Structure 1
Amino acid sequence: MDCCGNDLTPAVALFRSLGDPARLAIVRRLAEGEARVVDLTRVLGLAQSTVSKHIACLRDCRLVDFRTEGRQSFYSLTRPELIDLLRSAERLLTESGDAVALCPVYGDPAEVAP
């Protein structure tokens, strides 16, 4: 609970689901339109098993769903608000400059100046 009595658990789960680089890359790609696993593996340079595992996670979170056409599955985002969230995050990162990337707790340790 936060100071106002709101349960933060769902928000924490949402940001954890987007916190993995592969899942975030999948979501960003699906923000452009639906794709098959084979399309995602090509674009992202990830193994099919990796993409499938992350798609399953995103489906469990109900952020991604699919439709079948013949033997193929086409994945898409379930919530258009997710695209707005990504755009807001990109604006925030642009405005904050390197502050987030250089954060000693969550940033890239290789990027942090001594």
Structure 2
Amino acid sequence: MTIPQVASRDDVQVAARLFRGLAEPTRLALLTALRDGERTVSELMSAVGASQSGVSGHLACLRDCGLVTSRPGPGRSVWYRLASPRLQALLRAAEELLADGGHPVTLCAEQGRRPR
């Protein structure tokens, strides 16, 4: 029997940052709110029911984790979006994994439609 090689410490730390971004309910709610396109902080506050400072703090974490990017808008506004379309696939995979365990949830843009 061959023992599989363990990922390098650096690789594990990068992956841990990704999962840190997904590990908090408000951050996960922000990601799902961004699944259909760009949003401002004000729009995200309404979508997830959190304060401006809370949303801004979580967005900073998500940016550090590489899950969201931003661009300046008109005036002082900033537009946030998912950093990669692969996040949709990750949300769908999470739905399927949770459903396998008896916990059906809807996280992806298809609103409950399961991939075939």
TM-score range, shorter chain: 0.7 to 0.9
SS at match of 2:39: coil
For 2:7 and 2:21, the matched residues in 1 are separated by: 20
Describe the SS at the equivalent of 1:5. Answer: coil
The alignment of Structure 1 onto Structure 2 pairs a total of residues equal to: 97
3-state SS, counterpart of residue 46 of structure 1:
coil
TM-score normalized with structure 1 length: 0.78
2:85 maps to amino acid: P
How far 1:5 sits from its partner (Å)?
Answer: 2.3
Deviations 1:79-104 (A, max 9, x none): 11111111100011111114xxxxxx
Matches within 5 A, 1:59-98: 59-71=63-75, 72-98=77-103
The correspondence for 2:23, drawn from 19, 22, 44, is 19
| Deviation of 1:11 (Å) | 1.9
Give the letter aligned to residue 80 of structure 1: P
2:6 counterpart of 1:5: yes
CA-CA distance at 1:10 after TM superposition? 2.0
Residues 23-47 of structure 1, C-alpha deviations (whole Å, 9 max, x = no match): 0100111112110000011111100
Displacement of 1:19 in angstroms is: 0.2
Three-state SS of the structure 1 residue aligned to 2:84 is coil
Q: What is the Cα-based RMSD across aligned positions, in Å?
A: 1.6
Aligned match of 2:114: none
Higher RCO (Cα < 8 Å, 6 or more apart): 2
Q: Which residue of 1 aligns with 2:33?
A: 29
